Each structure stands twice: as structure tokens, then as C-alpha cells.
Amino acid sequence: MKLSNVAVLLGVAAAMTSMPSHAGDHRNEARANHRIDSGMQAVSIDTTVGQPGYGWRYFADARKGRAVVISPDGDYFYSRGEGLTLVYEAPSAI
């Protein structure tokens, strides 16, 4: 066997044995509770009945440039600094 083939074989073997350790890192990260260090802060607004924004709840993380807005109906909107995107639409009460 040529020396270059042995080097390739050893490189592939090393890469394959390191894959499970990387997979374990992702598994642990998925189980972690991300809400502990979310950085989201409630944003208080002064609105009264009939004004735009009344009943809406706002949360922002200025460090990471993201925000969550919850409508009075329970719809969730998420922003990464590029406008709000509907991520959850509450079932309508009929």
C-alpha cells in the first residue's frame, strides 16, 4: 500500500471516530434550556383602550437584535431585525 493511501485511510478513520463526539455536543445543546439566558426583556407601552397597540405584548433582546410580539388573539410574531414574521397563529374561537 502506498504511503499516500495509508495517510488518507488514517485521515478518514480519524474523521469518522470524531463524528460521534460532535453529535453528542449537538444533542446536549438541544436538551439545554435556552430560556434561562434568553436575554428577552419585556417592553412596556402606555396605551389605552382604543389606541393602536392596546393589548399587544412586546419583548426585545437588544444584544442579539431580535424581538417577539404577541397579539391580543395569541398570535406570535418574531423578528431578527428585519421586520416581523408570523410564527404561530392562534386557533380562532368560533
Q: What is the pLDDT of residues 24-49, one digit of tens each?
A: 555 555 555 555 556 889 998 888 89
Closest Cα partner for 59 from 37, 81, 44? 44
Contact yes or no for 9/16 (Cβ under 8 A): no
Model confidence at 17, pLDDT cuts 50, 70, 90, reads low
Residue 40 is classified by DSSP as -
Q: What is the pTM of this model?
A: 0.55
Chain mean pLDDT for the chain:
76
User: Given this model, what pLDDT does residue 33 score?
Assistant: 54
